[in-house]
Amino acid sequence: MTVLLWGVPTEPPVAMVTRELTELDADLVVLHPQAAAGQQVQVLIGAAGKPGVAGMLHANGRRVDLAGVVGAYLRPVEPGLVPELRGRAETAPELVHARRVHDALIGFTEVAPLVSGCRVVNRLSAMASNSSKPFQAQAVVRHGFATPETLVSDDPDEVLEFVDRYRDVVYKSCSGIRSVVTAFDPTADRERLDRLRWCPVQFQERVAGPDVRVHVVGDEVYAALVDTTAIDYRYARAQVGSDARLSSYRLDDHLAARCVALASDLDLPFAGIDLKLAPDGRVVCFEVNPSPGFSWYESETGLPIARAVARWLLGG
């Protein structure tokens, strides 16, 4: 029962899943991106004319048979962003090798679920749905959730009309790049609107009501209610002077089932779904995070998310 943990071991989500897998007696192989120099991977697809994946992984002084890997938890770091490799020439041997290890692990984790039933949280190709929030929104609507009224535009006049219509408007990135959700200030921001000509920006109606973060693990849900007046609760201390308070929250069965179906449709066994319970009764979905940094929610609420991920990786 070998499980790969591909990420920085001290990063809280990786550390928490590691701890839970250890308690479940899993055989763990931690693949630290900073240790790529000492890692070697050989992958074989379709050996002996049969579909399947085989190969060997050499890491941490161990030799691991890839055919025996039952699960993989992915929080990788792009090789060019690893501190020791940052700024190296593309042809630098250590960066070239790190990229090859990266490629091999991506390839293995893409194919293994298809041919050997290996459980991967989450395949990088599936994570890509988060590269476009408007694209994700189209999937969200198919599952019966509302999405905020949204305008992505490079036209200042159109943006001002949108602001006039919805009054309370926020802006943020529409790609997977993290940004702070910020309220549009009709006075201060008006001067900057000409910059939109260079690149469209996403504006949304600001939806009132409490935030609920739903972690889906397989067919289980773990929801947390967020209490704050901040626009972006992740940055509540900076925005309103105190951290958001989190508490566990019981979703009704129908809503829970829709969350599971949405994550499944996006091919994400593990997902963090951001909802807002609007006063008008709408359940508004903002996005589905394919690599949830769940540690804060778990430590504040006691929700056993890491345990659920560990169990899922082991086939439970």
Q: Is 49 in the site for other proteins (CB under 8 A)?
A: yes
In contact, 54 and 66? CB cutoff 8 Å: yes
Q: Is 296 in the site for other proteins (CB under 8 A)?
A: no
Minimum CB distance to other proteins smaller for 51 or for 293: 51
Q: Using CB under 8 A, which of 11, 19, 22, 47 touches other proteins? A: 47
Phi-psi region of 167 (alpha: psi -120 to 50; beta: other; left: phi over 0): left
Q: Is 265 in the site for other proteins (CB under 8 A)?
A: no
Minimum CB distance to other proteins smaller for 157 or for 253: 157
CB of 230 to other proteins, least distance (A): 24
Minimum CB distance to other proteins smaller for 135 or for 296: 135
Q: Is 200 in the site for other proteins (CB under 8 A)?
A: yes
Q: Is 59 in the site for other proteins (CB under 8 A)?
A: no
Interface with other proteins in residues 75-134 (CB under 8 A): 97, 100-101, 103-104, 106-108, 110-111, 114-115, 124-125, 128-134
Binding piece for other proteins, criterion CB under 8 A, among 20-28, 193-201, 232-240, 252-260: 193-201
Q: Using CB under 8 A, which of 198, 241, 252, 279 touches other proteins? A: 198
Q: Is 209 in the site for other proteins (CB under 8 A)?
A: no
Q: Over the range 156-186, which residues count as b (16 or more CB within 10 Å of their CB) and which as e?
A: eeebeebbeebeebbbbebebeeeebeebee
Q: Is 274 in the site for other proteins (CB under 8 A)?
A: no
Binding characters for other proteins, 148-167, by CB under 8 A (x = yes) = xxxxxxxx--x---------
Q: Is 263 in the site for other proteins (CB under 8 A)?
A: no
CB of 133 to other proteins, least distance (A): 7
Count the neighbouring beta carbons within 10 Å of the beta carbon of residue 37: 12
Q: For binding to other proteins (CB under 8 A), which residues are involved?
A: 39-49, 51, 53, 97, 100-101, 103-104, 106-108, 110-111, 114-115, 124-125, 128-135, 137-138, 146-155, 158, 173-177, 198-201, 205
